[in-house]
């Protein structure tokens, strides 16, 4: 079962009229006009690579014949490396990105427009294979194809996981050399290094544990609705504490207004915007190739990565570029294992199935893929509590509101266009503990409820995240709700025990890989998620949220009757509607070789030389939160590890 892939681009999630994007683009063009173009910024494949098979030029030595580091993919993590490695003038660095710059793309800069990029040329537009745990549905997996990667197209929510997540990362390395550096105590400096927190006058938040000098500005949207306020109060009413910052060494439990990757002008802070500034791009030891797809890593007979092959299109010329020190794979949790497999590194059975010559057998490649799955419960609201009217104008009055919102955005960098709509995040524990007991959980037999395997990284850490949004839609915004006003409470499973694979469909590097996250295939995952759905319903029926809802509106897409259903019925609904929260991780994890690891604690790929992985795929376990921040911190740490080595 597959939904229409070319759904009309009335993308609501995107929640922003085409007019707004046009005006936004103008605003963006105006705001960036002052910076004049000087040196050449981005290169094409043929300006850097040597055509493969052309003996003369393969042996020629032009100036850019070889780089010290060739970074595959110019995404979230790669932009950090491009910046940090080239502050060493003796390192010559090349980045090869399949997409283009996000600078002139207004949907990549205006927060409310983020999902406009999905299913366009700026998206890899992946889909999973049919998911047994989700009624055999194939689920869309957007991955942004652009400099900055998913940080240019994500939902901008800032969160760093729980401190214990990192302690567990270290523990899983079982005393291997360098493991301690990944524990919270050591890793914390990298979580802090990338950030400059910009306080917001309306959001009291202690700043002592927040970064002060990093390139990535974080802060709060210039827009917060009464629905968000009511959500916080309803959480408090059922025992979820309101905390000013869910992102400190004190832990992450509680509800808070969502901090975000936004600058004081109301623009998205992608890692391209933060790290690949004009000054950095102008460094003579950095070159960035755009629009080039890496098809393969080449190795010499001593299993040393010596460079990569890349092309602009399937039947176009293939180029090669050499790497003197290292090839660094930063292609993300889907494409990193894909490229390893295409290059002959992976499970032998998988390589032989596609007749790919084995460079080195490594069983863990593409295994243990983990993602966060989310279930949206939608409730009708009384008039006035809905953001949609600003973002999806229908009548003249609403169009005026929209025009006002655009003016507000252009002049003050605030207003509805600065929201991605997920206004609050609440981190809770439902496997056990007080709240867990309320929804059928138990810590041990004596408590009467069902005792679940504890998949969290520590007793003080969450297993579920709740989010609230003053909007409602399905299919990531590709399906509009035909009801006037509604809100959504999202329930996310943070610590799934289900895990799956990325494998190849064929040996053709232009063919999309097979993605099988195996969602909801363990009893644990379904049980915890069902508890979370019950919590969503409970929140919606707790004051003050309860009074915002309009119980009289009946519509088959609405969920106010969910609370009256049995667990089995809720389970069925969850299987028919759950979707990705876009956090694929762990598909080339850092772990011991015998535990299915692909990289060691220095992020070097086992069994070969000169090859490192720096992106979300190396996480030993998925963090109990959002993955962009941890990925940026991984890259910050990797840059130091690399500098230490050379």
Ligand X SMILES: *[C@@H]1O[C@H](CO)[C@@H](O)[C@H](O)[C@H]1NC(C)=O
List for the chain the helix, strand, coil content (%; round to 5).
30, 20, 45
Q: Rg for the chain (alpha carbons), in Å?
A: 24
Of 181-189, 458-466, 598-606, 625-633: span binding ligand FAD (CB under 6 A):
625-633
- Spatial contact of 559 and 378, defined as CB atoms under 8 Å apart: yes
Catalytic residue among 386, 420, 524, 626: 626
From the list ligand FAD, ligand X, none, pick the one residue 86 interacts with, judged by a Cβ distance below 5 to 8 Å according to partner type: none
Instruction: Quote the tokens at residue 195.
Output: 């950030």
Complex with ligand X: residue 106 or 377, whichever CB lies closer: 377
Please say whether the dihedral angle defined by the alpha carbons of residues 323, 334, 592 and 180, taken in this order, is positive or negative: positive
Terminus-to-terminus CA distance in the chain, angstroms?
Answer: 51
Of 181-189, 533-541, 550-558, 622-630: span binding ligand FAD (CB under 6 A):
622-630
- Spatial contact of 290 and 307, defined as CB atoms under 8 Å apart: no
Min dist CB 226 to ligand X, Å, is 16
Among 13, 170, 179, 539, binds ligand X (CB under 6 A): 13
Of 26-34, 198-206, 243-251, 331-339: span binding ligand X (CB under 6 A):
243-251
96 binds ligand FAD (CB under 6 A): yes
- Which x/- pattern over 103-142 shows residues binding ligand X (rule: CB under 6 A)? ----------------------------------------
- Which x/- pattern over 102-141 shows residues binding ligand FAD (rule: CB under 6 A)? ----------------------------------------
Min dist CB 24 to ligand FAD, Å, is 19
Neighbours of 129 (CB within 10 A): 17
Active-site annotation holds for 372: no
- Report in angstroms the alpha-carbon separations of 248 from 159, 428, 435, 588, 614: 10, 16, 22, 28, 24
Neighbours of 324 (CB within 10 A): 15
From the list ligand X, ligand FAD, none, pick the one residue 11 interacts with, judged by a Cβ distance below 5 to 8 Å according to partner type: none
CA atoms within 13 A of residue 581's CA, in its CB half-sphere: 29
Cα 525 from Cα 532, distance rounded (Å): 11
Instruction: Quote the tokens at residue 166.
Output: 């990192």
Q: Are strands 424-428 and 254-257 parallel, antiparallel or unpaired?
A: antiparallel
Among 473, 481, 519, 582, binds ligand X (CB under 6 A): 473
Cα 311 from Cα 505, distance rounded (Å): 20
Min dist CB 570 to ligand FAD, Å, is 26
Instruction: Quote the tokens at residue 234.
Output: 């309803």
488 binds ligand X (CB under 6 A): yes
Complex with ligand X: residue 38 or 213, whichever CB lies closer: 213
Complex with ligand FAD: residue 165 or 538, whichever CB lies closer: 165
- Spatial contact of 520 and 526, defined as CB atoms under 8 Å apart: yes
Min dist CB 290 to ligand X, Å, is 28
- Spatial contact of 113 and 24, defined as CB atoms under 8 Å apart: yes
Q: Is 616 exposed, middle or buried (0-12, 13-18, 19+ CB in 10 A)?
A: buried
- Which x/- pattern over 150-179 shows residues binding ligand FAD (rule: CB under 6 A)? xx-xxxxx----------------------
Among 68, 615, 621, 636, binds ligand FAD (CB under 6 A): 615
Q: Are strands 318-329 and 305-311 parallel, antiparallel or unpaired?
A: antiparallel
Of 300-308, 380-388, 393-401, 611-619: span binding ligand X (CB under 6 A):
300-308
| φ, ψ dihedrals at 613, nearest 5° | -120, 130
Complex with ligand FAD: residue 17 or 259, whichever CB lies closer: 259
- Which x/- pattern over 496-535 shows residues binding ligand X (rule: CB under 6 A)? -x-x------------------------------------
220 binds ligand X (CB under 6 A): no
Among 142, 225, 367, 376, binds ligand FAD (CB under 6 A): 142
| 3-class secondary structure, 106 | helix
Q: Is 80 annotated as a binding residue?
A: no
268 binds ligand FAD (CB under 6 A): no
335 binds ligand FAD (CB under 6 A): yes
Q: Which one, of 638, 581, 585, lies nearest residue 376 by Cα? A: 581
Among 145, 168, 476, 531, binds ligand X (CB under 6 A): 476
- Spatial contact of 488 and 479, defined as CB atoms under 8 Å apart: no
From the list ligand FAD, ligand X, none, pick the one residue 475 interacts with, judged by a Cβ distance below 5 to 8 Å according to partner type: ligand X
Q: Which one, of 296, 348, 287, lies nearest residue 327 by Cα? A: 296
Instruction: Quote the tokens at residue 434.
Output: 């007080």
Please tell me the total number of residues recorded for the chain in this structure.
Answer: 646
Active-site annotation holds for 583: yes
Min dist CB 250 to ligand FAD, Å, is 20
Cα 412 from Cα 140, distance rounded (Å): 35
From the list ligand X, ligand FAD, none, pick the one residue 258 interacts with, judged by a Cβ distance below 5 to 8 Å according to partner type: none
Residues 6+ apart with CB under 8 A from 446: none
98 binds ligand FAD (CB under 6 A): yes
Positions marked active-site: 583, 626
List binding-site positions: 294
* Residues engaged in binding ligand FAD (CB under 6 A): 72-77, 96-99, 142-146, 149-151, 153-157, 293-294, 330-333, 335, 339, 582-583, 615-616, 626-629, 631
Q: Give residues in contact with ligand X (CB under 6 A).
A: 13, 160-163, 188, 191-192, 195, 197, 209-211, 247-249, 252, 300-302, 304, 376, 407-408, 411-412, 421-422, 469, 471, 473-477, 488, 490, 497, 499, 579
Task: Name the binding residues for FAD.
Answer: 294
């Amino acid at each position: 079962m597959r939904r229409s892939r070319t759904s009309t681009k009335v993308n609501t999630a995107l929640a922003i009229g085409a007019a707004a994007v046009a005006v936004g683009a103008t605003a963006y063009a105006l705001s960036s006009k002052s910076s004049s173009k000087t040196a050449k910024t981005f290169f094409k494949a043929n300006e850097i690579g040597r055509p493969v098979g052309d003996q003369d030029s393969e042996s020629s030595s032009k100036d850019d014949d070889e780089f010290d580091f060739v970074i595959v993919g110019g995404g979230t993590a790669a932009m950090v490396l491009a910046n940090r490695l080239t502050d060493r003038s003796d390192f010559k660095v090349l980045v090869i990105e399949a997409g283009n710059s996000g600078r002139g793309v207004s949907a990549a800069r205006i927060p409310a427009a983020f999902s406009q990029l999905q299913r366009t040329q700026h998206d890899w537009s992946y889909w999973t294979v049919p998911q047994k745990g989700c009624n055999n549905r194939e689920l869309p997996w957007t991955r942004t194809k652009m400099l900055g990667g998913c940080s240019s197209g994500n939902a901008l929510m800032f969160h760093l996981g729980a401190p214990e997540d990192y302690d567990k990362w270290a523990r899983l390395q079982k005393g291997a050399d360098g493991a301690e550096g990944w524990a919270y105590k050591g890793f914390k400096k990298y979580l802090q290094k990338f950030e400059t927190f910009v306080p917001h006058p309306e959001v009291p938040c202690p700043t002592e544990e927040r970064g002060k000098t990093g390139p990535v500005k974080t802060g709060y949207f210039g827009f917060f609705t009464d629905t968000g306020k009511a959500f916080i109060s309803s959480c408090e009413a059922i025992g979820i504490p309101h905390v000013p910052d869910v992102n400190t060494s004190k832990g992450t439990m509680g509800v808070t207004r969502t901090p975000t990757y936004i600058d004081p002008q109301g623009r998205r802070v992608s890692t391209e915007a933060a790290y690949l500034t004009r000054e950095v791009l102008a460094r003579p030891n950095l070159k960035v190739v755009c629009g080039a797809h890496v098809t393969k890593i080449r190795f010499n007979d001593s299993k040393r990565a010596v460079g990569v092959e890349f092309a602009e299109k399937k039947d176009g010329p293939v180029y090669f570029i050499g790497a003197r020190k290292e090839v660094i794979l930063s292609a993300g949790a889907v494409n990193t294992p894909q490229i390893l497999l295409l290059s002959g590194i992976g499970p032998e059975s998988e390589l032989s199935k596609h007749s790919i010559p084995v460079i080195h057998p490594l069983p863990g490649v593409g295994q243990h893929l983990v993602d966060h799955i989310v279930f949206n419960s939608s409730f009708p609201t009384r008039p006035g509590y809905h953001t949609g009217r600003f973002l999806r104008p229908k009548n003249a009055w609403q169009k005026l509101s929209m025009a006002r919102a655009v003016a507000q955005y252009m002049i003050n960098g605030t207003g509805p266009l600065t929201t991605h709509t997920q206004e609050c995040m609440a981190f809770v524990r439902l496997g056990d503990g007080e709240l867990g007991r309320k929804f059928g959980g138990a810590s041990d037999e004596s408590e009467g409820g069902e005792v679940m395997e504890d998949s969290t990284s520590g007793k003080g850490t969450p297993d579920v995240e709740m989010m609230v949004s003053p909007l409602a839609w399905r299919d990531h915004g590709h399906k509009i709700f035909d009801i006037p006003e509604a809100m959504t409470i999202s329930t996310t499973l943070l610590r799934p025990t289900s895990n799956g694979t990325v494998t190849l469909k064929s040996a053709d590097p232009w063919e999309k890989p097979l993605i099988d996250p195996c969602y909801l295939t363990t009893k644990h995952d379904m049980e915890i998620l069902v508890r979370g759905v019950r919590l969503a319903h409970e929140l919606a029926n707790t004051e003050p949220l309860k009074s915002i809802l309009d119980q009289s509106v009946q519509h088959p897409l609405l969920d106010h009757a969910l609370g009256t259903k049995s667990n089995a019925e809720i389970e069925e609904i969850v299987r028919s509607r759950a979707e990705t929260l876009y956090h694929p991780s762990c598909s080339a994890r850092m772990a011991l070789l015998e535990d299915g690891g692909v990289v060691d604690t220095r992020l070097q790929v086992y069994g070969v030389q000169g090859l490192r992985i720096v992106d979300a795929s190396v996480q030993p376990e998925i963090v109990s939160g959002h993955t962009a921040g941890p990925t940026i911190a991984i890259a910050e740490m990797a840059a130091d590890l690399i500098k230490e080595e050379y």
